[in-house]
Amino acid sequence: MTANILDGHMHARILIDSIADELDQLPRVPGLAVVLVGDDPASQIYVQSKIRMAERLGLRGEVEFLSHDASEADLLGVIDALNARDDIDGILVQLPLPAHIDTLRIMAAVDPCKDVDGLHALNAGRLFHGDDALVPCTPLGCLRLIKSIRTDLTGCHAVVIGSSNVVGKPMAALLLKEHATVTQTHVHTRGISDICRQADILVSAVGKAGLVRGDWIKPQAIVIDVGTTRVEKPEGGYEVRGDVTFDEAVRVASAITPVPRGVGPMTIACLMENTVKAAKARSARLQ
C-alpha cells in the first residue's frame, strides 16, 4: 500500500480557477510587483515563475531588479515608491537578500496592506492572534494540501520541523487556528524522530535532503515536504530533493507531497490569491 501523492500542480490549478472568478468583481486589474536583488539563478527562476502565473491569470506583474551590491537605502527607496503607487496591490521582496541587507528592516518597510508574502510583523501578529491577515504563501499552500485530505484538523497532532519566519512559525500558527495540537521542532530539539512518530500531520521545512526517514513517520500520517535541496548526482548534474526520504515515506504515509511538483506550485497560486485579496481590500477602503 502506498500513499496518495498530492499533486501540487493539480491543486494549484483548482485554486487559480477559483481566483479567476473573483477578478470580475474588481474595478481594475490588480498589480503585483516582485523585487529581486542580485542575480542568483534560482531566485530568477522563482521570480519569472511568479510573473508568468500572474500574467496567465490576468494580473499585471512587474519586476524591479537591483544589483547584488545595491545598498539597503536603494532597496528601501524602491519599496517606498511601490508603496505609494495606486496601481500596485501586492509587493513581494524575493528572499534571500544579500548578507549586507537587514531582511527584517526590509520586510518592515513594505506596506502591510500590500505585503502579499505575509512577512510584515503586523500580518504575523494578526495571524498569531487568529485575526484576518495576509498569510505567508508557502504555509498557506501547505494547509490547503493538508485540508484536501482531511478537512477537520481538530485534535490532530501536527509536528512542524523548522521554525523560520517564512514557513515554520506561520505553519504552526495556521495549524493552531485549525484546532490542531502543534509541536514545533528545530535544530536544538532532542529526540526529534520520536516526536515525529507521534504526528498525524508532519510538515518538514528545513532544507536538509533526506532528513526524515520512513521510520520517523506514523502509519497513515499526512506528510508535507517543503524542503528543496540541490544534490549532485553521481553521473553528473543536479537533482532537487526534499527533506523527506520519499521512497521510504510513501510506503507509510496516507498522503505525501513529492519534491518537486508538490508545495512549490501551491506557493505561487497562494501568492496570486493574496494579491487578489489585497486588491479587493484596497478597493473596499477606497469606496
Domain boundaries of the chain, sorted by first residue: 28-111, 136-265
Query: Could you tell me which residues are annotated as the binding site for NADP(+)?
Result: 162-164, 228
Which residues have a catalytic role annotated?
50, 94, 117
Average pLDDT over residues 180-202: 97
- State the CATH architecture for 136-265: 3-Layer(aba) Sandwich (3.40)
pTM of the model: 0.95
Phi, psi of 18, rounded to the nearest 5 degrees: -70, -35
What superfamily does domain 28-111 belong to in CATH? Leucine Dehydrogenase, chain A, domain 1 (3.40.50.10860)
Give the integer Cα–Cα distance in Å for 220 and 217.
8
CB 279 within 8 A of CB 58: no
The DSSP line for 44-70 is: HHHHHHHHHHHHHHT-EEEEEEE-TT-
Inform me whether the pLDDT recorded for 85 exceeds 70: yes
Structure confidence at residue 267 as a pLDDT band (50, 70, 90):
very high
Inform me whether the pLDDT recorded for 153 exceeds 80: yes
Average pLDDT over residues 30-52: 93
Query: Could you tell me which residues are annotated as the binding site?
Result: 162-164, 228
Average pLDDT over residues 196-200: 98
What confidence tens digit (pLDDT) does each residue in 103-123 have?
999 999 999 999 999 999 999
Inform me whether the pLDDT recorded for 286 exceeds 80: no
